[in-house]
Amino acid sequence: MKKLYAALAVLALLCASASATEVLKASHSVAPSHPYHLGLVKYAELVTERTNGAVTIDIFHSAQLGNERDNIEGLQMGTLDICVTSTGPMGGFEPRFFMFDLPFLFRDREHVYKVLDGTVGQELLKKLSDVGIVGAAYWENGFRQVTNSKRPINSINDIKGLKLRTMENQVHIDAFRALGVDPTPMAWSEVFTALQQGVIDGQENPVPIIYVQKLIEAGQKYLAITNHVYSPSLFLISAITLERFDAKTRAVLVDTAKEVAFYERGLIKQMDEEQIGLLQKQGMVVTYPDQAEFKAACQPIYTKYEERFDKKLIDNIINTK
């Protein structure tokens, strides 16, 4: 009888342990070979290790749980726990995130990281708590480039008249209109098919997206390295999710996202450097147009938005050294 009670006690402990395990859902909208996914895999491993198995994470890629806006709304409702998203749809929740879509705002990655990891970037993340979301860290999407199916882009005249998919925010749309483009806002999950069917001529995204999403197979023959916008990505956690945990576990979930940001950013930089050559080997024609005329054409965008985003804040970003 004692042996039976002992066995039952062990079984009860095992059941309690199993029921205590929290399985979180993490979502992103791109392929599993992209750094978003690779970063989430590393994050999940570290969280499970640091919580001694009390928290595990299931990762859903390629917009399996909806597009980026769907994911953000899921965080607010508590139906999704974690997502990695571009800042594209975030302006609807905190308008100043649109500021990052001002063309040619950042000089290089060093400039980017000083802003995002400094006071300006961190204050923006904190503002997300007002809409039920915890902005844990800035990950990276990267400097955006233009692809199309019509012609190589060597000057501003070559981009004029192209019908390009843009992110779903007005700053982005206005910037491309200033360049003479016909901007077509569209959820990312719809883009590949739209390219295949000729609904749009092209799109713009960082090189790792262009490569891992195999846009060359959708007829994208030409790549222009324009670096017209740097796209941060955001590692977001539902405030409802975090409330379920004690302070120690909350710290693990947030701090690990900050730590893995450096790993994910490094992957983006490495892929940027490697994948341009790989795209050329696949037959994509790569050009490097002079940025000067593109910058000049986009200057009215700053005038239009400086009041909305606070001219002093924009100047602070531009002048960060």
Q: For 183-231, what is each residue's pLDDT tens digit? A: 999 988 899 999 999 999 999 999 999 999 999 999 999 999 999 999 9
Of the pLDDT bands very low, low, confident and very high (cuts 50, 70, 90), residue 96 is confident
Going by pLDDT thresholds of 50, 70 and 90, the confidence category of residue 245 is very high
Q: Does residue 218 form part of some domain?
A: yes
Q: Quick one: pLDDT at residue 11?
A: 42
Q: Tell me the three-class secondary structure of 134-171, residue by residue.
A: EEEEEEEEEEEEEEECCCCCCCHHHHCCCEEEECCCHH
Question: Which pLDDT score is estimated for 15?
Answer: 44
pLDDT classification of 10: cutoffs 50, 70, 90 = very low
pTM of the model: 0.86
Domain count, the chain: 1
> In CATH, what number is assigned to the domain containing residue 229?
3.40.190.170
The pLDDT value given to residue 287:
98
Q: Is residue 208 assigned to a domain? A: yes
For the four alpha carbons of 101, 104, 108 and 114, in that order, the dihedral sign comes to negative
Res 17: pLDDT: 42
**What's the distance, CA 282 to chain centroid?**
26
- Evaluate whether residue 2 is within a structural domain: no
Residue 83 pLDDT > 60: yes
Angle at 215 between CA 292 and CA 152, to 5 degrees: 35
**Pairing state between β 230-238 and 82-86:** antiparallel
Give domain status of residue 302, yes or no.
Answer: yes
Residue 90 pLDDT level (bands cut at 50, 70, 90): confident
Q: What is the pLDDT of residues 132-173, one digit of tens each?
A: 999 999 999 999 999 999 999 999 999 999 999 998 888 999
The pLDDT score that the predictor gives to residue 12 is 40
Write down the pLDDT at residue 169.
Answer: 83
Is residue 1 domain-resident?
no
Q: Would you list the DSSP string of 78-145? A: TS--EEEEESGGGGGTSGGGGGGGSTT--SSHHHHHHHHTSHHHHHHHHHGGGGTEEEEEEEEEEEEE
Percent of all residues in the chain with a pLDDT value above 70, rounded to a whole number: 94
Q: Is 149 domain-assigned? A: yes
> What is the CB-side half-sphere exposure of residue 23 using CA atoms within 13 A?
5
Question: Which range marks the domain in which residue 235 is found?
Answer: 7-318
